[in-house]
Structure 1
Amino acid sequence: MDTSATAICNLLYRYAEAIDEGRLKDAAALFLHARIEAGAAGPLDADGLLALWRKILVIHPCGTPRTRHLVTNPILDIDEATGTAQVRSCFTVMQATDDFPLQIIASGRYHDRFARIGGQWCFVERDYRQLDFIGDLSQHLRMPLKQTQRL
């Protein structure tokens, strides 16, 4: 039996898995009920987020971004009575390609809010603006990070 904590953490991990497998549409679908803060692009919905990913992410011939997103240290504040939760977690993105040795390319924090909708936990808010460390993103983004922040 899933607890609320397990269900919420699984959403964090399903997001990372879908992105790493190049299933951008599936990853965006996790944010169907969400408002996404992505920097200068302003608040986005799931469709806007998918369009942004398709515009900026490099998808390699294998159909994936050749990344591994690790989501760690989730701190969950769950209110069972109201069916809401706030979660802070850390992420580390590693990447390797045929010409790019395995390395950490980014690290930061996610600030998420969840709500129980139709009996299921769902993302209702994500803040992508907590990027703490930036490595070589040349094989991950189609444009320099400064340009993506203005999108």
Structure 2
Amino acid sequence: MQDVLDRLTRLEALVSIQQLMFRYAECVDLARFEALGELFRHGTIGAAGARPMRGVSEVARFYAATNRVHADGTLRTRHLAANPIVEIDPSGRRATARSYFVVLQETKAVPLQAIVAGRYHDAYHVVDDAWCFAERVIHVDQVGNMSDHLSFDLRRDPIPEIEG
């Protein structure tokens, strides 16, 4: 019986972690930057090699300052996460995940196209009986035309530091 309970606990953890992965994409695409920040209340997010951001307000401020919100109130993007490999610690309270991402965008100026692709390396932990991001490191591998997405050129410019 304990084996069945352990399997159910691991399955519940897997579903909760996948929901966090997908919520991140939805928050970014819909320009819900405060909700995005909430995902990192107990964790950090940043590009590989850059200073990670921590907490609700820092994450929300960064995304609001660096992403172009269009007339419909969204980024006109679709962040697609694929091939997640989730490994849950035997304690059942920590996990890691690796996945790929592709971001599609279409605007009045840019036809539908992939604008960036890469990998997410994530760590998760349980806080107050709920799974949360502990860390998300974004590895950008391919960059296309991001002129209607970001306020800086990802190929050329360093990731900006946003003052609080």
TM-score, normalization by structure 2: 0.85
Report the counterpart of residue 143 of structure 1 in structure 2. 152
1:100 correspondence with 2:110: yes
Give, in whole Å, the separation in 2 of the partners of 1:18 and 1:66. Answer: 12
Report the counterpart of residue 122 of structure 1 in structure 2. 132
Give, in whole Å, the separation in 2 of the partners of 1:112 and 1:74. Answer: 10
In 2, are the aligned partners of 1:74 and 1:88 still within 8 Å (CA)? yes
> Which residue, out of 133, 138, 141, partners 2:142?
133
1:55-70 pair list within 5 angstroms: 55-70=65-80
Report the counterpart of residue 17 of structure 2 in structure 1. 8
> Which residue, out of 22, 32, 56, partners 2:41?
32
Give, in whole Å, the separation in 2 of the partners of 1:14 and 1:33. Answer: 16
CA RMSD of aligned residues (A): 1.7
In 1, are the aligned partners of 2:81 and 2:99 still within 8 Å (CA)? yes
> Which residue, out of 52, 55, 64, partners 1:43?
52
User: Per-residue displacement from partner, 1:78-112 (whole Å, max 9, x unpaired)?
Assistant: 01525000000111000001231100000000001
In 2, are the aligned partners of 1:40 and 1:150 still within 8 Å (CA)? no
- Identify, as 1 or 2, the structure richer in strand: 1
Runs of at least 5 residues in structure 1 that lack an aligned partner in the other structure: none
SS state at 2:79 partner: strand
Q: CA deviation at 1:31?
A: 0.7
- The percent of aligned pairs where both chains have the same amino acid is 37
In 1, are the aligned partners of 2:36 and 2:59 still within 8 Å (CA)? no
In 2, are the aligned partners of 1:108 and 1:132 still within 8 Å (CA)? yes
User: Per-residue displacement from partner, 1:126-149 (whole Å, max 9, x unpaired)?
Assistant: 112x10000000000112113242
Give 4+ residue runs of structure 1 displaced > 6 Å after superposition: none
SS state at 1:3 partner: helix
Q: CA deviation at 1:36?
A: 2.2
Report the counterpart of residue 88 of structure 1 in structure 2. 98
The structure whose Rg is larger is 2
